[in-house]
Amino acid sequence: MHMSRYIPDAIKRKLLEETQFRCAFCLDSIEHIFDDSNFFHFAENAHIQPHNESLDNSFENLICLCPTCHKKFDKNPDRDNSVSRLKALKAHWFVASGNYSKLELDCLFDLFRYNPRPWILTYQFQNSERGKFSSLCFSVPTKQGYLFQNLITNRLVDCVEQKGAFSGNSLTFGSNLPAENTLLILLTEKGKNFCKKFVS
Ligand SMILES: [Zn+2]
């Protein structure tokens, strides 16, 4: 093993894929800006076991973080705590990226962070038990539900089928609308707990 901090491109790419182009901790998307002459990306490859101790640049000892989170972990005076948190994050991402598509994770984390993707129609779902608008959901045509099948099967989200299609941001019914049912997809407690493993 050599002293260099050199990380091969193939490993850098694999690290970005592992977290679906997000910071492993805060879940922010990693920004990419391309302006003809410059390509910036703000993904940082953080060492789980610090490089100066381990000299380990393997995929297994690296994780993708944004610069802000990277600093937080590096500056944590409790080194063991940092190492064990990063190890746990690596394990969570192994499960997440092994079981869910990028689309599923993007939508799941957006629900968790109340930051819906603009191309998915969203509205405040009325929780009938509590009688108030309490959780955010998004909707997709029922026939596209298979795209979220792994989230549904593992109960990270619940879905409710509605007759009718979305128009604007409300569910409308009527014979003039396409005969297409809508699936409302909501985050479950299990889904929330899944997401919390990353950010807490
Ligand atoms: Zn971050």
Ligand 1 center to residue 11 CA distance, Å? 19
Token look-up 């690596």 returns 90
Centroid of ligand 1 to alpha carbon of 73 (angstroms): 10
CA of 123 to the centre of ligand 1 (A): 27
Within the chain, which residues score under 70 in pLDDT? 1-3, 31-41, 115-135, 164-180
What angle separates helix 189-199 from helix 102-112, to the nearest 10 degrees?
90
- Asked whether the whole model's pTM tops 0.95, one would answer no
Backbone angles phi, psi at 151, to 5 degrees: -65, -40
**pLDDT reported for residue 10:** 95
Tell me the CA–centroid distance for residue 137 and ligand 1, in Å.
24
Q: Ligand 1: distance of its center to the CA of 33 in Å?
A: 17
Element at 125 (helix H, strand E): strand 122-127
Confidence (pLDDT) at 189: 92
Residue-wise pLDDT tens digits, 128-187: 444 444 457 777 778 888 999 999 999 999 988 877 655 544 444 444 545 567 788 889
Distance 88 CA to ligand 1 centre (A): 15
Separation between Cα atoms, residue 162 and residue 183, nearest integer Å:
6
Task: Give 71 Cα–ligand 1 centroid separation in angstroms.
Answer: 9
Domain map (residue ranges) of the chain: 9-99, 104-199
For residue 133, the model assigns a pLDDT of 43
Q: How far is the CA of 125 from the centre of ligand 1 (A)?
A: 29
State whether residue 31 is helix, strand or coil: coil
| Residue 76 CA, ligand 1 centroid: distance in Å | 15
Ligand 1 mean position, distance from CA 139 (Å):
28
CA–centroid distance, residue 64 to ligand 1 (Å): 9
Ligand 1 geometric centre to CA of 141 (Å): 33
Q: What is the rounded distance in angstroms from the CA atom of residue 41 to the CA atom of residue 139?
A: 32
Q: What is the whole-number distance in angstroms between the Cα of residue 25 and the centre of ligand 1?
A: 5
CA of residue 14 to ligand 1 center, whole Å: 18
Would you state the pLDDT for residue 119?
58
- Would you call 101 exposed, middle or buried from its count of C-beta atoms within 10 A (0-12, 13-18, 19+)? middle
> Which residues make Cβ contacts (< 8 Å) with residue 130, sequence separation at least 6?
none
Residue 191 confidence (pLDDT)? 95
Distance (Å) from CA 28 to ligand 1 centroid: 6
